[in-house]
Amino acid sequence: TRKTVAVLPGDGIGPEVLDAALPVLADLDLPLDLEFGEIGWDCWRTGGNPVPDRTWDLIGRSDAVLLGATTSKPRREALAELAPELREHAPQYLSPIIQLRQRLDLFANLRPVENHLGGGTPYRFCVVRENTEGLYAGLDFHPVPNALWPLVAEHPNARRGGPDDATASIRLQTSYGLDRILRFAFETARRHGYGRVTLADKPNVLRRSSAYVRERLEAVAADYPELPFEVLNVDAVALWMARRPERFGVIVAENMFGDILSDLGGGVMGGLGLAPSANIGERGNYFEPVHGSAPAMAGRGRANPAAAFLTIGMMLEHLGFPEAAGSVHDAVRQVVRRRDRVTYDLGGTATTTDMARAVIEAGQRT
Ligand code: NAI
Ligand code: MG
């Protein structure tokens, strides 16, 4: 059966990298229908919503969403750029990424990390970040609300002032949220051949919550007897990710720990130009390069399209085309390793389209 992909190029270098990379699909001859839609800053300026209704309709009838990049700005700047006739209704600006995650309940954020550049030890692991709860659950308070103050005031530092002189943020984790992200981590390991699951938490300090998470982890792990698992302190994971990335398979973490480890993973891999990502839930998904719209680089043909290719590869895998996904992945790797037709960030002088052509040609040869 044919699958529909909603392509939302967005802002800045988003359309540039997707324009350059999407022609790879033509060679693969897959039962895919691409439908283009709008998202991002222009939609906000002219319509008061960065994700217009027609884009939600498109997403609703698609099997996958492929995003380029979107520009987000602080609320005040966003309102200042809004079309004057819309300003009196003063719609709330909410970043498109956050709208997609919330409305589609995309609870898992995946960032695969691999030694594409070569040199040194090969490694291949994946950070799975919980996207809906944890320290980013939205329970972030200043002043400390009355209902919490009796608890907070037990801390000796808090007693030196009142509710106005302290902040409190709650790391919410629920059995519902934990079980689905932990199961997702083990499924990812099983399906994509990662050799182990590591929970990055803080059992040394956050004793009660970490003990509960470990309980849930052990229960889920029982269904995956072939996969070794461990719980490590998040700071140790950071150190080992930098020093010995080959020791990891799937690293799963709550929202804030996962946010930080994901970016560290991008750094380990050699930069934003190479980092793809996926956001997945029961009711939807979107696939996007980790990088943003890079406004200063936009329109100059300098952006590295590799992350966009690798993102397309992740999407093909998800849609059930593993061979096509593998060929895109291998083509990127060949070009990146040869280093002769690569963009500035990898030490070359190629433009976005030159490098993209090199990848597409490498794919045709294999
Ligand atoms: P950015 O990722 O756009 O750029 C950061 C740096 O990385 C820049 O120096 C840029 O030149 C470089 N870079 C990014 N992509 C590259 C590529 N493909 N090849 C080579 N170099 C690359 O992040 P920044 O500057 O913090 O944000 C710019 C805008 O993008 C903001 O409006 C921000 O809100 C938005 N953004 C959107 C994201 C998304 O769509 N998910 C993610 C991150 C930022
Ligand atoms: Mg981040």
Which of 293, 304, 349, 354 gets mutated to test ligand 1 (max ligand atoms within 8 A of its CB)?
293
For ligand 1, the distance from its centroid to the CA atom of residue 41, given in whole angstroms, is: 14
Q: How far apart are CA 129 and CA 115, in angstroms?
A: 20
Backbone angles phi, psi at 109, to 5 degrees: -110, 120
User: Ligand 1 test: best mutation among 291, 349, 353, most atoms within 8 Å of CB?
Assistant: 291
- Distance (angstroms) between ligand 2 centre and the Cα of 153 equals 32
pLDDT of residue 61: 97
Atom 4, ligand 1: residue with shortest CA distance: 294
Could you tell me if the CB of 314 is within 6 A of ligand 1?
no
The rounded Å distance from CA 49 to ligand 2 centre is 23
pLDDT for residue 311? 98
Residues belonging to the chain: 366
Task: Note the pLDDT of residue 246.
Answer: 97
In angstroms, what is the span from residue 95 Cα to ligand 2's centroid?
14
Residue type for position 122 = P
Tens digit of each residue's pLDDT, the chain (366 residues): 899 999 999 999 999 999 999 999 999 999 999 999 999 999 999 999 999 999 999 999 999 999 999 999 888 899 899 988 888 776 788 899 999 999 999 999 999 999 999 988 999 999 999 999 999 999 999 999 999 999 999 999 999 999 999 999 999 999 999 999 999 999 999 999 999 999 999 999 999 999 999 999 999 999 999 999 999 999 999 999 999 999 999 999 999 999 999 999 999 998 899 999 999 999 999 999 999 999 999 999 999 999 999 999 999 999 999 999 999 999 999 999 999 999 999 999 999 999 999 999 999 987
b/e per residue 227-257 (b: at least 16 CB within 10 A): bebebbbbeebbebbeeebeebbbbbbbbbb
Query: For residues 176 and 114, what is the distance between their CA atoms, to the nearest angstrom?
Result: 31
Domains in the chain, start-ordered, CATH in brackets? 1-108+273-366 (3.40.718.10), 118-137+172-269 (3.40.50), 138-171 (no CATH)
Ligand 1 proximity of 345 Cβ (cutoff 6 Å): yes
- Residue identified by tokens 């990049």 is 69
Nearest to 176, CA basis, from 224, 209, 206, 132: 132
Contact 281, 104 (CB under 8 A): yes
What does the pLDDT read at residue 90? 67
| Angstrom distance (rounded) from CA 12 to CA 296 | 8
> What is the per-residue DSSP string for 31-65?
SEEEEE---SHHHHHHHS-SS-HHHHHHHHT-SEE
Tokens 């891999």 map to which residue? 269
Task: Please tell me the residue having the least CA distance from ligand 1 atom 43.
Answer: 292
Tell the residue nearest (CA) to atom 23 of ligand 1: 292
Cα–Cα distance measured from residue 311 to residue 162, given in angstroms and rounded to the nearest whole number: 49
pTM for this entry: 0.95
Q: What does the pLDDT read at residue 275?
A: 97
Nearest to 73 by CA among 41, 99, 109, 48: 41
Longest dimension (CA), the chain: 70
Q: Which residue shows structure tokens 């009796």?
A: 150
List all residues 6 or more positions away from 230 whose beta carbon is below 8 Å from its beta carbon: 196, 197, 198, 199
